[in-house]
């Protein structure tokens, strides 16, 4: 009977260690979902505006943003710095738009000069103004 008691104690110990681990895993999963839903809520409209500027099509931009959110959900664990979430997601949106344009043979790659980067920066600022409540 001694061996059975030892096995029973070991089994109970392993089960009691698994339960907190399972609870912690479920909690982490729920926190991840909540963080992603917050991302979606905060960035949806801005993402549509960004995609519309890149694609010049409201319909295409809706599809692109949907695809970008799917990609972001799948790759959410690769986000290294949560403080850079907005830039990370913007890059996903832009890359998704570029992929769509490439598939539709509408993309031309050009070197962006400093003047071109300045224009791009002004476009981003114009997109952000409504978020800050500033007039366009």
Q: Work out how many domains the chain is built from and give that number.
A: 1
- Distant-in-sequence contacts of 121-126, Cβ < 8 A, 24+ apart: 123/53, 124/50
Three-state SS at 54 = helix
- For the residues 70-87, what does the mean pLDDT come to? 86
User: Is pLDDT at 62 greater than 90 in this prediction?
Assistant: yes
pLDDT at 66: 94
- Say how far apart CA 28 and CA 95 lie, in whole Å: 28
Tell me the percentage of the chain whose pLDDT exceeds 90.
24
Q: Which structural domain range is residue 98 located in?
A: 2-132
Cβ neighbors of 98 (< 8 A, separation 6 or more) are 54, 107
- Say how far apart CA 41 and CA 112 lie, in whole Å: 32
Q: What is the CATH number of the domain that holds 37?
A: 1.10.1740.10
- For the residues 98-116, what does the mean pLDDT come to? 71
| Residue that has been written with the tokens 């917050």 in this structure | 38
The pTM assigned to this predicted structure is 0.58
**72, 96 in Cβ contact below 8 A?**
no
Per-residue confidence band for 106, with pLDDT thresholds at 50, 70 and 90: low
Distances (CA, A) of 30 to 63, 82, 85: 27, 17, 18
**40, 69 in Cβ contact below 8 A?**
yes
- Say how far apart CA 49 and CA 127 lie, in whole Å: 7
């Amino acid at each position: 009977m001694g061996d059975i008691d030892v096995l029973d104690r070991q089994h109970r110990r392993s089960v009691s260690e698994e339960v907190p681990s399972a609870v912690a895993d479920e909690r982490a999963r729920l926190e991840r979902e909540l963080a992603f839903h917050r991302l979606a809520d905060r960035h949806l409209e801005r993402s549509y505006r960004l995609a519309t500027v890149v694609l010049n099509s409201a319909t295409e931009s809706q599809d692109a943003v949907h695809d970008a959110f799917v990609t972001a959900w799948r790759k959410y664990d690769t986000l290294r710095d949560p403080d850079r979430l907005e830039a990370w997601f913007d890059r996903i949106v832009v890359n998704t738009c570029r992929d769509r344009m490439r598939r539709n043979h509408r993309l031309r790659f050009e070197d962006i000069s400093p003047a071109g980067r300045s224009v791009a920066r002004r476009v981003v600022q114009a997109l952000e103004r409504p978020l800050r409540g500033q007039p366009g």
